[in-house]
């Protein structure tokens, strides 16, 4: 019951934040105009609402839930509360190929960038699988291999940045993650991925529960570990890759949403997956909304906002967890 309420509350929060995001920005749209624009009537602000803010809000919701779900999967897979798509290097892989496209093929059409980012995420995962001896390593070593891989990709990004100083701001913006100028084509290209992958992730909740128990427990309960791990990793990469392709490498969503969800709903993935997806979407919307309001008319990239909101909370959570265990 309590979990149901939490889920409902997160959903209501999502609606409220969505409405506020639609309303405010460099131009504030009054609620009455907002309603009639959303219902399809022609108002002075309907262009802003329908063409700029609505796809942006939609992208934020989709990407936030995708990153958060990927975080849940990875934390169960690696059995470590500090795991997340950024930590194991997948986002950096996506960032590297995206930066390569921005710098080496500056004239390429806009749909190439997300495709390249997705390819980078896949490449990072393949490397990770190869280096971790096809997932036979212990989860901990696996995470460390991911960390190092991320650092190597980071070096690649930095090389490109330094060699082509003219595009630095665009790349930095992309690397820290931003929802600026995300239109319908991006929202619609992200939509099918998330709509298909989120339910798939939810259906894996039993496996996620069991994997968290540890290798022995999993084997005893009759799960063949390696195929399960590879399948789940693939799922997490697809979720991360498609989200990062749309919004850039936004950090901390994948790290803290699962923690908040676990705090509210306990460790059972049946509830954790949907709840943390909703919380991820909430956080991303909140970050974007605040980032637009702080220094109008300029924007703080949402990736920075999520780091500023997320990090202190994350530290608080970890300290709490440590105290409870001690």
Interaction site with another protein (CB under 8 A): 80, 82-83, 86-87, 131-133, 137-138, 140-141, 143-145, 147-149, 151-152, 154-156, 158-159, 161-163, 165, 168-169, 172-173, 175-176, 251-252, 255, 298, 300-301, 303-304, 307-308, 311, 314-315, 318-319, 322
Say whether 108 sits in a helix, a strand or coil: coil
Gap between the Cα atoms of 120 and 28, Å rounded:
38
Which residue carries 């934020």 as its tokens?
A: 60
Closest-CA residue to 194 (of 70, 18, 9): 70
Chain CA centroid to CA 170, Å: 20
Q: How far is the CB of 241 from another protein (least distance, A)?
A: 18
Upstream peptide bond of 297 is cis (omega within 30 degrees of 0): yes
Gap between the Cα atoms of 252 and 254, Å rounded:
5
Q: How far is the CB of 232 from another protein (least distance, A)?
A: 19
Helix (H) or strand (E) holding 4: helix 2-23
Residue number with CB closer to another protein (123 or 172): 172
Cβ burial of 258 (10 Å; 0-12, 13-18, 19+) is buried
Residue number with CB closer to another protein (137 or 293): 137
CA distances from 183 to 9, 67, 119, 140, 246 (A): 28, 20, 22, 39, 10
Residue number with CB closer to another protein (191 or 311): 311
Q: How far is the CB of 110 from another protein (least distance, A)?
A: 21
Chain CA centroid to CA 293, Å: 22
Residue number with CB closer to another protein (41 or 226): 226
Q: How far is the CB of 280 from another protein (least distance, A)?
A: 17
Residue number with CB closer to another protein (168 or 200): 168
Q: How far is the CB of 35 from another protein (least distance, A)?
A: 35
Residue number with CB closer to another protein (9 or 100): 100
Looking only at Cα atoms, what is the longest distance across the chain? 64
Q: How far is the CB of 228 from another protein (least distance, A)?
A: 20
Instruction: Return all residues near 254 (Cβ < 8 A) that are at least 6 apart.
Output: 67, 68, 70, 71, 74, 84, 85, 86, 240, 280
CA distances from 14 to 3, 10, 58, 159, 248 (A): 16, 6, 11, 39, 21
Residue number with CB closer to another protein (56 or 79): 79
Q: How far is the CB of 154 from another protein (least distance, A)?
A: 7
Residue number with CB closer to another protein (39 or 162): 162
Q: How far is the CB of 307 from another protein (least distance, A)?
A: 4
């Amino acid at each position: 019951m309590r979990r149901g309420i939490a889920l409902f509350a997160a959903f209501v929060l999502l609606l409220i934040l969505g409405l506020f995001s639609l309303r405010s920005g460099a131009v504030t749209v009054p609620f009455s105009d907002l309603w009639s624009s959303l219902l399809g009537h022609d108002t002075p602000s309907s262009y802003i609402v329908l063409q700029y803010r609505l796809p942006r809000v939609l992208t934020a919701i989709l990407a936030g839930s995708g990153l958060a779900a990927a975080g849940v999967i990875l934390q169960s897979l690696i059995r470590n509360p500090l795991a997340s798509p950024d930590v194991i290097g997948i986002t950096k892989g996506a960032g590297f190929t995206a930066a390569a496209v921005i710098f080496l093929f500056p004239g390429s059409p806009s749909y190439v960038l997300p495709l390249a980012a997705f390819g980078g995420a896949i490449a990072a995962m393949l490397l990770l699988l190869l280096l971790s001896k096809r997932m036979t390593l212990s989860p901990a070593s696996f995470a460390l291999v991911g960390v190092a891989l991320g650092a190597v990709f980071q070096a690649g990004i930095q090389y490109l940045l330094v060699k082509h100083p003219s595009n630095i701001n665009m790349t930095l913006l992309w690397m820290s993650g931003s929802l600026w100028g995300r239109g319908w084509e991006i929202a619609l290209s992200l939509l099918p991925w998330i709509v298909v992958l989120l339910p798939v992730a939810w259906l894996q909740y039993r496996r996620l529960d069991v994997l968290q128990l540890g290798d022995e427990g999993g084997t005893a309960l009759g799960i063949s570990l390696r195929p399960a791990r590879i399948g789940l990793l693939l799922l997490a990469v697809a979720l991360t890759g498609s989200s990062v392709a749309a919004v850039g490498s936004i950090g901390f969503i994948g790290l803290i949403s699962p923690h908040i969800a676990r705090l509210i709903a306990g460790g059972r993935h049946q509830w954790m997956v949907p709840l943390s997806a909703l919380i991820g979407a909430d956080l991303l919307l909140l970050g974007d909304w605040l980032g637009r309001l702080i220094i109008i008319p300029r924007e703080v990239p949402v990736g920075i906002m999520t780091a500023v909101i997320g990090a202190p909370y994350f530290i608080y959570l970890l300290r709490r967890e440590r105290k409870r265990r001690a």
